[in-house]
Amino acid sequence: NAGVTQTPKFRVLKTGQSMTLLCAQDMNHEYMYWYRQDPGMGLRLIHYSVGEGTTAKGEVPDGYNVSRLKKQNFLLGLESAAPSQTSVYFCASSYGGALAKNIQYFGAGTRLSVL
């Protein structure tokens, strides 16, 4: 019962470095999401995907790119990390569909520090 798995769990980057965060789900969900969580700001949507091969921008997409080459995986990339991207990143997935309850299932998070 893995659910949603995020790797890595922790990472420290220097300004300007790049990295990719991996999200994998084993529930055959159509929809996947990347959020960032900052103190006092709740969860903000970065990018999302409604199916394999599709991606769309969320509320705070600048400085991030995503890819969904396989249905079960959703990758979040930082091309040139900035200190403002220090945050906790969460991936989520849901079954999808207009009539669905659309309960989102979350991974455990990736804690990223950019120095």
Partner 1 sequence: GEDVEQSLFLSVREGDSSVINCTYTDSSSTYLYWYKQEPGAGLQLLTYIFSNMDMKQDQRLTVLLNKKDKHLSLRIADTQTGDSAIYFCAERALGSSNTGKLIFGQGTTLQVKP
The closest of 38, 34, 107, 109 to 77, measured between CA atoms, is: 34
Among 43, 61, 86, 113, binds partner 1 (CB under 8 A): 43
109 makes contact with partner 1 (CB under 8 A): yes
Residue 60 touches partner 1, criterion: CB under 8 A = no
**Considering the complex, what minimum distance in angstroms separates the CB of residue 99 from partner 1?**
8
Q: Report the candidate in 92, 76, 90, 82 with the shortest Cα–Cα distance to residue 113.
A: 82
With contacts defined by CB under 8 A, name the span among 19-27, 44-52, 64-72, 73-81 that binds partner 1. 44-52
Using an 8 Å Cβ cutoff, are 21 and 114 in contact?
no
CA nearest to 60, candidates 48, 82, 44: 44
Cα gap 94→102, rounded to integer Å: 6
Q: Which of residues 67-106 bind partner 1 (CB under 8 A)?
A: 90, 92, 94, 96, 98, 100-106
Under rule CB under 8 A, residue 40 binds partner 1: yes
HSE-CB for 63 with a 13 A CA cutoff:
14
Which residues are near partner 1 by CB under 8 A?
Answer: 4, 31, 33, 40-43, 45, 48, 50, 56, 58, 90, 92, 94, 96, 98, 100-109
